[in-house]
Structure 1
């Protein structure tokens, strides 16, 4: 998941949490206000009821008239006037027990059960005591709360949608310099390492640009060093080796076959040839690490390339037994095309097939070609000595040779070179191996249509 998307989601989650908390506070205080307001209305009715029924006079008649004309009649409103007994105690006439006890103990109380509200107080009249209770329902208050809940719900949904799009716009704006930086970095290859990133200000993006520029300085120096080595090594190293080899060959021809000098000269020639092979492998390995744009890129039929590679192997190792399996190739020939350098790909496939033949002691090697998800898959499977499981991770390290390969000639350059070439073509290599059972190497290359 991209950081831009993460920021959008985190912004959305934080804003949603704040909205939920705000809505909860609004509902809570609305409940409290609504209930308190209704209880005040009930308390007013308790006082008026006590005045009218216990202290009748001219004013109480006015109270009665005002109440009847101007006070709203509450739903299920009910008045109760309860006189205490001779002992001064009250008998519960069916009121909620908690409410009744609270009024008796405190002199007044409020109580709510579901949507039924109660308010009451004890009033003294002469030597007598009276319990005045008014109860009613509050459907309008409940409806008001329900409407508020509906408004808050739809407001919450709308706010979340707005926050989502605002978060996306916000993160898009914040990451604009990062995208610009990424686009610029993607244009830099080994062929234009002199390019640098522009940076202004003193923010984190400027620091990142400066870090990239420092890295590019080091990379440019390293590539120039490698380029100079590869450019000069052919002449500076191969020429002396060629002269040595020619002089040794001339000396061998002038010595007797069974002489000690002949044996020494033959050894020198053999080691010189070996050194030349190692040098050629190293130079090719270094060259294969260059940017692909420097190579001669073209469209290649992979099945034809495989036949060319097999032909090259058989010229070097005539005793090789290679079987080709093209049963799974598609009818559409366009899917067999890959983009790349024919010579480099030929070298990579040849190295892998050659290794399979050599380390299987020239038993059957199967080369299979298939297409899957716009990827060309070349499988080279042998019945050879295999690779120990603990050493599989090292086989693409230059000059590394498995512990069971001492009886076979090699320099440990072929597979690293093949991997470099395949990576240069934006592909990958997979390997499965078991000691004394064989090795299966799969080469994955993107089809040209991809």
Structure 2
């Protein structure tokens, strides 16, 4: 998941939590205010009921008339005046038990039932106790709370939608400088390592740009060093080896050499040739990682390239037994096109096929070609000695050779070189092998015909 999306979701989750708490806060205090207001109205009626029924006089009569004229009649309003028995105890007739227990214990009480509210107090007159209770329903207050709940719910859902898009826009504009930085970094390749990022400012992005620039400085130095080596090593290293080889050949052509001298000179010539091959492999390996990117690329028909590679292998190893399987070729021939450098790709495929022939002791090697989605897949399978499973992870390390290859000539450069070339073409290599059964190498390249 992209960080920008994570920030949007975190922003939405945080805002959702805040809105839930705010709505709960509003609903809680609105309910408390609503109930408190209604209980206050009930208590006023309790006082009026007590005065009118227990202490009648001209003033209470005026209260009663004012109540009847101006005081609203509550829904389901009911007045009760209950007299205690001779021992001062009250008998509960139809009041809620919890309300009755509290009012008898404390002398006054408020209680909310399912849909009905109760308020009351105990009044003493002439040594007798009276429980004055007024009960009523509060449909308007409950409807008000319900309406508030709906408003808060719809407001909450609407706010979530707004917050999501605001969070998305916020994260988009927050990451705009990072996207700009990423785009600039993606334009920097080995051919323009001199380019640098803007690191003006004192914020974190300026620090990141400065860090990238320092890394680019080190990379540029390393690439220049490698380029200088590749450019100069061919002349500086090959010339002495050529001279040594020539002198050895001249010495071997001289008359009068005994068998021992010829063996010594032959060993020198053999080792010089081996050193030349290793040097050529190293230089090609270095070029594939750097100079290869400077070559002109073109669209290559991969099936034609395979035939060229097989021809190159048979020139070097005439006894090779290679079978080509093109049964799964797609109907659209354009899918077989690959963008790349023909010489480099030819070298990579040739090395893989040549290894398959050599390590299978020239038994049958099968080359298959197919297209899967946007990938061209070349499969080279042999019936050779295989690779121990514990050593598979090391076969692309330069100069590494499997423990069962001592009887075969090689320097451990071919597969690393092939991997460098395939990676240069934005592809990958997969391998599976079993000792004494064989090895299959698959080359995956992006199709240029999509």
Does TM-score exceed 0.5, indicating one fold?
yes
Report the counterpart of residue 176 of structure 1 in structure 2. Answer: 176
2:200 counterpart SS class: coil
Q: Give runs of aligned pairs for residues 25-424 of structure 1, distance below 5 A.
A: 25-255=25-255, 259-290=259-290, 293-424=293-424
Deviations 1:80-119 (A, max 9, x none): 1111111111000121111101100000011112221111
- The corresponding residue for 1:7 is 7
Conserved 8 A contact 2:12-2:163: yes
Distance in 1 of aligned mates of 2:447 and 2:48 = 92
Instruction: Give 1:76 shift.
Output: 1.4
- Work out the CA distance in 1 between the residues paired with 2:105 and 2:411: 102
Counterpart-to-counterpart distance in 2, 1:231 and 1:192:
18
Deviation digits for residues 20-65 of structure 1 (CA, Å, limit 9, x no counterpart): 1111111111111111111111111111111111111111221111
Distance 2:296 2:56 in 1: 115
CA deviations on 1:171-197 (whole Å, 9 max, x unpaired) are 122222211111111111111111111
> C-alpha displacement at 1:160, in angstroms?
1.3
Q: Distance in 1 between matches of 2:403 and 2:260?
A: 34
Query: 2-side partners of 1:409 and 1:169: how far apart?
Result: 63
Q: Offset of 1:257 from its aligned partner?
A: 8.1
SS in 1 for 2:110: strand
d(CA) in 2 for partners of 1:189, 1:11: 37
Answer whether contact 2:336 2:449 (CA < 8 A) is retained.
no
Contact 1:428-1:443 at 8 Å conserved across structures: yes
Structure 1 window deviating more from structure 2 (324-333 vs 170-179): it is 170-179
Question: Residue by residue, what CA displacement relative to the aligned partner does 1:266-306 show, whole Å, maximum 9, x if unpaired?
Answer: 11111111111101100000000026641120000001111
SS of residue paired to 2:82: strand
Question: Helix, strand or coil: the match of 2:384?
Answer: coil
Instruction: Provide the secondary structure at the position in 2 that maps to 1:328.
Output: coil
Matched position secondary structure for 1:75: coil
Counterpart Cα distance in 1 of 2:280 and 2:292: 20
Task: Name the CA distance, whole Å, in 2 between partners of 1:114 and 1:84.
Answer: 27
Q: Is the 8 A contact 2:293 2:424 kept in 1?
A: no
Aligned to 1:434: 434
Secondary structure of 2:43 counterpart: helix
Q: Deviations over 1:125-153 (max 9, x none)?
A: 11211111111111111111111111111
The Cα RMSD (Å) is: 1.3
Confirm or deny: 8 A CA contact 2:313 2:350 kept in the other structure.
yes
Shift in Å at residue 250 of structure 1? 2.0
Equivalent-residue separation in structure 1 for 2:273 and 2:257 (angstroms): 20
In 2: Cα distance, 1:323 partner to 1:402 partner:
26
Give the deviation of 1:254 after TM superposition. 2.1
Aligned partners of 1:19 and 1:257: how far apart in 2?
100
CA distance in 2, matches of 1:213, 1:338: 34
In the aligned structure 2, how far is the partner of 1:23 from the partner of 1:256?
Answer: 109
2:227–2:290 CA contact under 8 A, matched in 1: no
Distance, in Å, in 1 between the alignment partners of 2:42 and 2:437 is 93
SS at match of 2:289: coil
Per-residue CA shift, 1:223-280, capped at 9, x if unaligned? 1111111011111111221121122122222256861111111111111111111011
| Structure 1 residue 203: Cα displacement | 1.0
Residue pair 1:292, 1:425 contacting (<8 A) in 2 also: no
For residues 434 and 139 of structure 1, the distance between their equivalents in structure 2, rounded to whole angstroms, comes to 83
